[in-house]
């Protein structure tokens, strides 16, 4: 007698027919992110109380977009790719990939471009001066902490600008890869290109991935497929629930798991074609407050918002 498949099983069978990995193009995600941040920051009717910060981060994303074409880092060698595939490890691992010293100059450049923009708080100019004065070992130490999600040794004011430079570097690297280069990881739930935890997931509406959910890497902007109604933290499929803010957008929800008590945001392009994982996650802090009050904790943070716990 034929067995009726559950929705998750149907999607699992279809997985071979869709893109398992979506790598960033050479144009990168920053122009779309900047446009989305500006739109969210201007949307007073949506109740965003952090509009000024969203607009500031839009300026950061615009500076990243301008800097990306000149970021011509050497791509992984065939031997490095083969080794990563053999051991099922990320190719451009955030914690171990050798950082070119240019990333420090890039951080100062991005911060300087933001500081020179109109209507930017004086505090940004102070951060720019601070970055120019920090010795390289201190910058490298902060980068190590940011890339490994540690909370020690990080200056909250400089962290978004340091991460902005690191994002440009890793997007430049990931854009030089091919999907076939990227292996299925031994440890699930991490970005298969750089090993970073996802910031959110997004259900795509474009022709090649319509209706399928992808986790989004906040560092290198790689996306990887995950069957829907699955916890992005523990991979469990039981006791998954979805939460929204009353009167809020239908395009963003929090997906919670009662097995590990974590949550991440999930975005739906069919509800709003303009959603962008990093931007919309940042703009929906009210949903984070709701989930915290309900007893859940975030699976991972947003790279543009660093706070001490």
Q: 3-state secondary structure string, 222-287?
A: CEEECCCCCCCCCCCCCCEEEECCCCCCCCEEEEEECCCCEEEEEEECCCCCCCCHHHHHHHCHHH
Are 103 and 208 members of one domain? no
CA distance 130 to 41: 27
Q: What are phi and psi of 11, to 5 degrees?
A: -70, -35
pLDDT tens-place string over residues 50-83 = 888 999 999 999 999 999 999 999 999 999 999 9
Give the residue from 161, 180, 199 where a domain finishes. 180
Same domain, 175 and 212: no
Q: Do residues 149 and 176 share a domain?
A: yes
Check whether residue 84 and residue 213 sit in a common domain. Answer: no
- Per the domain annotation, does 281 fall within a domain? yes
The dihedral through the CA atoms of 33, 35, 41, 46 has a sign that is negative
| Same domain, yes or no: 192 and 225 | yes
Residues 176 and 217 occupy one common structural domain: no
pTM of the predicted model, to two decimals?
0.91
Place of tokens 């298969």: 192
Of 5-9, 20-24, 264-268, 294-298, minimum mean pLDDT range:
5-9
CATH number at residue 277: 3.90.1670.10
Distance between CA 301 and CA 303 in Å, rounded? 6
Mean pLDDT of the chain: 90
Q: Identify the pLDDT of residue 46.
A: 46
Q: Which domain holds residue 281?
A: 187-298
Do residue 135 and residue 195 come from a single domain? no
Q: What's the token pair of residue 21? A: 């990995």
Is residue 6, in this structure, part of any structural domain at all? Answer: no
Count of domains in the chain?
Answer: 2
For residue range 8-21, what is the model confidence (pLDDT) as tens digits?
A: 444 444 445 688 99
Q: Is residue 18 part of a domain?
A: no
Is residue 71 domain-resident?
yes
């Amino acid at each position: 007698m034929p067995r009726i498949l559950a929705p998750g099983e149907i999607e699992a069978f279809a997985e071979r027919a869709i893109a398992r990995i979506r790598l960033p193009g050479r144009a990168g995600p920053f122009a779309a992110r900047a446009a989305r941040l500006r739109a969210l920051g201007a949307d007073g009717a949506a109740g965003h109380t952090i509009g000024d910060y969203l607009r500031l981060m839009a300026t950061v994303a615009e500076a990243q977009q301008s800097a990306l074409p000149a970021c011509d880092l050497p791509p992984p060698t065939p031997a490095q790719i083969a080794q990563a595939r053999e051991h099922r490890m990320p190719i451009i691992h955030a914690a171990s990939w050798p950082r070119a010293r240019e990333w420090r100059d890039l951080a100062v450049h991005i911060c300087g471009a933001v500081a020179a923009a109109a209507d930017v708080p004086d505090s940004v100019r102070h951060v720019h001066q601070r970055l120019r004065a920090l010795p390289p070992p201190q910058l490298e130490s902060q980068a190590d902490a940011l890339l490994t999600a540690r909370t020690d040794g990080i200056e909250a004011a400089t962290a978004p600008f340091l991460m902005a430079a690191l994002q440009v570097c890793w997007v430049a690297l990931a854009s030089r890869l091919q999907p076939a280069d990227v292996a299925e990881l031994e440890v699930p739930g991490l970005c298969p290109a750089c090993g970073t935890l996802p910031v959110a997931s997004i259900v795509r509406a474009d022709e090649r991935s319509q209706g399928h959910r992808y986790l989004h890497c906040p560092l290198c902007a790689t996306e990887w497929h995950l069957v829907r109604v699955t916890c992005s933290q523990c991979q469990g499929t039981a006791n998954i629930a979805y939460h929204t803010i009353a009167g809020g957008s239908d395009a963003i929800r929090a997906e919670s798991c009662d097995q590990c008590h974590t949550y991440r945001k999930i975005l739906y392009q069919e509800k709003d074609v303009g959603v962008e994982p990093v931007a919309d996650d940042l703009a929906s802090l009210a949903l984070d407050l709701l989930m915290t009050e309900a007893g859940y904790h975030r699976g991972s943070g947003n790279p543009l918002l660093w706070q001490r716990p």
